[in-house]
Amino acid sequence: MNNKALDSLTTEYNIVGADAFDRLPEVCAALFGSRTILVISDEKIWAHEGAILDAALAGKVAYRLSLLPGTPAPYADDNLVAAIKKLIAGEAALSFGAGSINDVVKRAAYELGQQYICVPTAPSVDGYASYGAAITVKGFKTTLECPAPRAIVADSGILARAPAELRASGYGDLVAKIAGGVDWMAADAGGIEPIHPVIWDMVQPWAMEVYGKAREIRSGDTGAIATLYSGLVASGLAMQRYIDSRPASGAEHLLSHVWEMEHLCVNGAPVSHGFKVAIGTIASTIFQRALFSKSAGEMASAAAASGDDVLERRLAAAASLLGGSPVLQPTVEAIRAKTPRGEALKARRAAYLASWDSLREKALARLPEPSALAARMAEAGCPSALAEINLDRQSLLRGFHIAKLIRRRFTTLDLADEFGVFEELAERAASWDLH
């Protein structure tokens, strides 16, 4: 467990509702006094919703506006973080937008030792309230250290009017916590990263509730949108408390990171985080259900047949898949950090075999049937087939192989690999047929 878990939250104000903007001047004054606020947004968002923010601040809070290009949408990488740092240095900053704008302002503010206010415009990600920012650095998608905003103020009308694809993206990101939770259960069962019950309960009930609201979210039902946003923020607050993204992500997010680094696009436009995660969640669920269909005896036999050279196999795979890439070195470091060897590997396998029946039962009870999951994703407006985000069987298979290598986080991909069943399960998941 993260030893710093349950530290006090960074976010002092978390306000959402039809009248949330009535309190925005109060929040600005509490955090920044009478200083002029620099609002960071993009041209598209400001054209649609800027008048509402202007009305909330007019005559009460002095502000200046800095707009990023709206088309293409801002991309959260180290170059944009550097540009934002120049804009907000010494300024009282307010981000007005969705996930990418919040992430770059969050990281830039941290590097400058400043605080900022986040005003979300879509229930699309869980990153508004999270500790850390998802930033691509020199082509490598990673989560960089930085505290959450001091205040999050969200107008429920703006959230409900967000484009359908952004609402669907949020659905994909929140429902992903079900599969991500099973990855945490696997880490817990092996004594690798015990589940913190309080933090678990901040996320998992929301994910299960939102799972059943796919149609309502697609139709723009205000109650369902409120539930979705609340669940996403709760997930972010859980990450704040845990000071890590473990409560909110597992192998499905690692798959998304692979495709992010490969610049996955459809018709020239980058695939949204939530849509990549939606496909990653379906793929992970197929993989997990196949893993936990195996008996303890089958797992023991597979481990005996595979041998003890897990580290060597992983390093060889990294060199083959990522050789010549800047991603290789951090991947090698992650592999060495998380891979048991010798007696440690034997002890870990024994621990899993001793508790396998219990873990298996709990995991299968939580995991939806893949066909039902895909149907819910489609109902919400998320992709539910590989081709919808320009993937095929081979690209998914490659994704699995890289995803199990690139981070230190232990997931069911690692568990399967340590028992010698990864190749079989990855092939099965990459050949999904849900009809």
Q: Are 14 and 233 spatial neighbours (Cβ–Cβ below 8 Å)?
A: yes
271 with 373, same domain: the answer is yes
pLDDT score for 2: 55
pLDDT score for 435: 47
pLDDT score for 1: 44
Query: Could you tell me if residue 215 is inside a domain?
Result: no
256 with 391, same domain: the answer is yes
Cα torsion at 151, 152, 154, 159 (round to 10°)? 160
Instruction: Kindly report the CATH number assigned to the domain that includes residue 51.
Output: 3.40.50.1970
Q: Helix, strand, coil proportions of the chain in percent (round to 5)?
A: 60, 10, 30
What is the mean predicted confidence (pLDDT) over 43-48?
Answer: 95
pLDDT category, 6, cuts 50, 70, 90?
low
pLDDT score for 372: 97
- Ranges 66-80, 310-324, 403-417: which has the least confidence: 66-80
- Ranges 74-78, 300-304, 333-337, 361-365: which has the least confidence: 74-78
pLDDT tens-digit series, residues 177-216? 999 999 999 999 999 999 999 999 999 999 999 999 999 9
115 with 187, same domain: the answer is no
The total of other beta-carbon atoms located within 10 Å of residue 304's CB is: 11
Query: Could you tell me if residue 5 is inside a domain?
Result: no
Of 162, 187, 222, which residue sits at a domain end?
Answer: 162
Q: For residue 70, what is the DSSP state?
A: -
pLDDT at 82 > cutoff 80: yes
215 alpha carbon, distance to own chain's centre: 22
The structure tokens listed for 361 are: 């039962």
Report the alpha-carbon distance of residue 138 to residue 321 in Å, rounded: 18
pLDDT over 90 for what percent of the chain? 86
Of 162, 185, 216, which residue sits at a domain end?
Answer: 162
296 with 358, same domain: the answer is yes
Query: Could you tell me if residue 2 is inside a domain?
Result: no
Q: For residue 294, what is the DSSP state?
A: S
255 with 146, same domain: the answer is no
158 with 169, same domain: the answer is no
Q: Minimal CA–CA distance to 124: which of 163, 150, 155, 85?
A: 163
What is the residue type of 369?
E
| Contact partners, residue 253, CB within 8 Å, separation at least 6 | 176, 180, 245, 277, 280
Q: Is the dihedral of CA 410, 143, 177, 426 positive or negative?
A: negative
The total of other beta-carbon atoms located within 10 Å of residue 309's CB is: 12
Range of the domain at 276: 165-195+244-430
pLDDT score for 5: 54
DSSP helix/strand/coil, 122: coil
86 with 184, same domain: the answer is no
Of 113, 145, 162, which residue sits at a domain end?
Answer: 162
190 with 45, same domain: the answer is no
pLDDT tens-digit series, residues 268-288? 888 999 999 999 999 999 999
252 with 385, same domain: the answer is yes
Query: Could you tell me if residue 323 is inside a domain?
Result: yes
157 with 186, same domain: the answer is no
116 with 181, same domain: the answer is no
Q: Which residues pair with 151 in a beta bridge?
A: 13, 117
pLDDT at 137 > cutoff 90: no
Query: Could you tell me if residue 7 is inside a domain?
Result: no
